Structure 1
């Protein structure tokens, strides 16, 4: 079972939603710049969607939705399911999640500067790993279901 988010992290993440509406695409664009230093990760992504800005916009919208609903996670169930399905289609594995965290959290600081305090980054780190755990568990089930179907 996924460890629940602390009330403090929920409050901080929710409070950052307006900032993410304003700066989310800049953060996700910077995150992808950091992430794509690893060619093995870069090849997993549709580079046309990167070049057009579509993928950074989609991820920014997902992050904003997560921030706005971090205290109402059932509202995100459909989005989480679509994300898990897409991750399975593109062969995302649990070992990829730390690489995304190592790109996302510094990207927040790169874009927001001093506004991205250690407290904010710690709350987002907790929130990221909470969501990552949910996705990893769901993706594991989807991978198992696909193996059973293929057998």
Structure 2
């Protein structure tokens, strides 16, 4: 991985845990609404899981787990492996990750408001997301290579 997180970034992300626990599904629902403005991305998703709320709940739990374990990412090995398998099954590519970031970060601010989702908080989440994206992209590249 080409980036690492500062202690300050880790502390900021971890400090958002209570807000994510309370508002995570609202954040992921807002994120998907933004993300699905791109029909090509929307087509990659199981719409029944969207409509039932299952996918927003699943992603909210994953984001909370990431926030709570950002200082010990090895604890997320099983979750990462499941995400990689799902992403490979649905054709996720590196170019999709910036689209998700562009939907997620504004959704955090929209739901939590500027008092909680300050510029500093969004910058920390941007860095944290980049770290996670790089981790997933690398593992997905290995899985795509193995499948070829």
Which category describes the TM-score, using the shorter chain as reference length? over 0.9
| Structure 1 counterpart SS, 2:16 | helix
Residues in 2 aligned to 1:77 and 1:6: alpha-carbon distance in whole angstroms: 21
**TM-score, scaled to structure 2:** 0.98
| Structure 1 counterpart SS, 2:113 | helix
Q: How does 1:38-53 map to 2 (within 5 A)?
A: 38-53=38-53
The size of the alignment, in residue pairs, is: 147
The answer for the alignment partner of 1:137 in structure 2 is 138
Gaps of 5+ in 2: none
| Structure 2 counterpart SS, 1:20 | helix
**TM-score, scaled to structure 1:** 0.96
The answer for the alignment partner of 1:12 in structure 2 is 12
Gaps of 5+ in 1: none
The answer to whether the Cα contact below 8 Å between 1:2 and 1:134 also exists between their aligned partners in 2 is no
Q: How does 1:69-80 map to 2 (within 5 A)?
A: 69-80=69-80
The answer for the alignment partner of 1:103 in structure 2 is 103
Displaced runs of 4 or more, over 6 A: none
Residues in 2 aligned to 1:92 and 1:46: alpha-carbon distance in whole angstroms: 13
The answer for the alignment partner of 2:127 in structure 1 is 126
Residues in 2 aligned to 1:99 and 1:69: alpha-carbon distance in whole angstroms: 24
